[in-house]
Amino acid sequence: MELGLRGKTALVAAASSGLGFAVALRLAAEGARVAICARSEKRITEAAERIQGETGSHVLPVVADLSRREDVARFVETARRELGPVSILVTNTGGPPSGPPLSFSDDDWEAAFGLIFYSALRLIRAVLPDMEAQKWGRVVSITSISVKQPIDTLVLSNATRSALTALVKTLSTVYASRRITFNTVAPGPISTGRMEQLIQHAISREGLSPQEALSQWISDIPMRRLGKPEELADLVAFLCSERAGFITGTTVPVDGGAVRGLF
Ligand code: NAD
C-alpha cells in the first residue's frame, strides 16, 4: 500500500530508542524526511545515523529535553529550517515514575504534566501554522492503554495522558475541515527500555523473579506476550498517511487485546 509519505517533513519526539525510534524508522522507510529529538547528543546522533543507514532517508537529530519549553521550540524551529514546513508530528516522551497513587508530591505532578501534557501541547502549537498553510497535517500522540484502563501503579501516566487525549480530541474536531487529523495510539506493554525499567522496579520493589515480574505484565494480555515496537510503528505510519484522511479524533490501542472495554 502506498502511504504517500515520500518527501513529507515529519517530527518524532523522544526517538533515540523504544517506540519513538521505531516510528521514526518506519516513517523514514516510507521516504519521509524525519527530525528526531532526545536529551543525549550521543544517543540521538547514533539513532539518526542508524535510521539513515537503514533507510537512506535524511534524518535530522536534535538535542532537546521535552520538559523544557525552549527546547521544544528549538526542536521545531531547527526541523523547519533544515527540512521545510512540518506536515507530520508524532508526540512522545519518556514515561513518568511508577508508585502508589498518593505517594507523589506536587512537584512530581507538575513534572509529569510538564513532560507528558505540556510537551505535546507546545509541539502541536508550534507545528500547526505549517499544517494550516499546507491545508494538510497529521498529528499522532503516543499515550498508553492507561487512558482506557487506568494502571494502579501509574497514576501520573493515567492522569496526564487522559488530559492529553482530551486535548487531541478537542483539536480533532476544530481542525477537521482543514484536513488536519489528530489521533492517539495507546500502547499496552511493548518490549522497550521503558518496559524493562518497569519490570526491574517490580523485581526490586516486590522481590519477584524476572519471570514472575514479566508474568505480572503479560498474564492479563490475551495474546500472552509483549508487543513489538514495530507493531505500534506500523499503525502510526498508517495514521500519518494519505490513506488515513477520514480518521480523526480516535484512540487506537495496540495491546494484544489487553483492554477489556467495548470502546
Ligand atoms: P523508552 O524509555 O524506551 O524510550 C523513551 C524515549 O524518550 C527515549 O528516546 C528517551 O531518550 C526519550 N526521552 C525521555 N525523556 C525525555 C525528555 N525529557 N526529553 C526528550 N526525550 C526524552 O520508552 P518507550 O517504551 O519507547 O515509551 C515511550 C512512551 O510510551 C513513554 O511515555 C511510555 O511511558 C509510553 N508507554 C510505553 C509502553 C511500553 O510498554 N513500552 C506502554 C504504554 C505507554
What pLDDT sits at residue 223? 97
CB distance 201 to 99 below 8 Å: no
Grid cell at residue 104: 507523589
CA distances from 91 to 131, 216, 217, 236 (A): 15, 28, 25, 11
User: How many Å lie between the centroid of ligand 1 and the Cα of residue 160?
Assistant: 14
Task: Write out pLDDT tens, residues 136-191.
Answer: 999 999 999 999 999 999 999 999 999 999 999 999 999 999 999 999 999 999 99
Query: Which ligand 1 atom lies nearest to the CA of residue 47?
Result: 9
Instruction: Give me the chain's average pLDDT, please.
Output: 96
What pLDDT sits at residue 263? 85
pLDDT surpassing 90 at residue 198: no
User: How many Å lie between the centroid of ligand 1 and the Cα of residue 135?
Assistant: 30
Residue 65: how many other CB atoms lie within 10 Å: 17
Residue 69: how many other CB atoms lie within 10 Å: 12
pLDDT surpassing 90 at residue 249: yes
The letter for the amino acid at 164 is: L
CATH class of the domain comprising 9-189+228-254: alpha beta
Percentage of the chain lying above the pLDDT 90 cut: 92
Task: Write out pLDDT tens, residues 10-43.
Answer: 999 999 999 999 999 999 999 999 999 999 999 9
The domain ranges of the chain are 9-189+228-254
Cell 502510526 sits at which residue? 236
What pLDDT sits at residue 217? 87
pLDDT surpassing 90 at residue 194: no
Best of 192, 197, 198, 214 for a ligand 1 pocket test (most atoms within 8 Å of beta carbon): 192
Task: Write out pLDDT tens, residues 78-112.
Answer: 999 999 999 999 999 999 998 999 999 999 999 99
